[in-house]
Structure 1
């Protein structure tokens, strides 16, 4: 894994507050096409510095660049706010998830090196206690981010695969000797949640869907709890 620390950009320590993201990794994009894959790597450095300047400028007035990390088309990981820090990337998940932008726009397809860099970053963070889930920015907020191309890769489990060269311990199955690596990379599970037709999805995509449904359920429970609290306050005031 090749990572460029923020100090190498001439940046001091981030002013972002401390946090302990444990849920997973959120994928972002820029919103406009950058075509950095066709430019020298120095253009990626310029882009990263400009992004930080924009985020700290009068338009956003954030304390630092909004993301935890960035992955450029050349397969290099750039440190943003870094580990153990709150972000300004996805409302509702800035302290519980890490964020990474692919520095690209809606018409750009990530390079293989870029995808591998995301996988390496995720594996590294999972080694420090991060959960396995991968989501897109739009899973938290009404936005086009990370664009349809990247979001398809989120949903089909592309970013959730282990990086090349990683070792996966085989796990026996009562229905046949199927290893975890077989399931993640080649096999699929059949889902039928009441639809007319069954659909085959990868294990990573299946786990991602469960994670999304859990979050949606928790949001509904939080809203119900807030309404109950409000009702109790009104009943208490009425009894006085």
Structure 2
């Protein structure tokens, strides 16, 4: 059980109630009841239940454990790419960067789940942006255009498990289709190479077809897909 259900300290502190993650592949009615009983005993209110795409989900849905994200991990090799002159790094927060961060989370499970407490999605992405700009969650935050109100897009790039990791990428609605996302991703590929890392990765939502198309266009390939369900207790 300890391997199947883990309490998440950061998420619990952020939401103000117990949050856990479950990786059990036993999605039978009995298996679900067992996990939910354990979660309740631990005082958890929300469990992220992560299963492979092929796992049966009928019993999960019947128990009110609903699919919220088809999470896809893309990977690519780092390399030398031509830097776009409009791409620079910033550490300065702004309302416009926050707007871009919120736009980047349009398909986020924290936004699409109607059971999330009001304002949770906005607070979470604001926290991720602030911590990225402060160097806690990202090594660099790149912008296309001016860092303030005129930025067309931004990308937060850090390191995770020996790879460069794109944690946030947002392009302003008015600037989409103009190569902004491609320029930012190319810059991330070049940064990863300069850091001496062989590969970089990004996790996005499979339902976010524009983002998936962008990464595939930039040479990324799918490494893994997971389905994330939310169990509310």
**TM-score, with structure 1 as normaliser:** 0.31
Of the two, which has the highest radius of gyration? 1
**TM-score, with structure 2 as normaliser:** 0.32
Q: Which one has a larger percent strand, Structure 1 or Structure 2?
A: 2
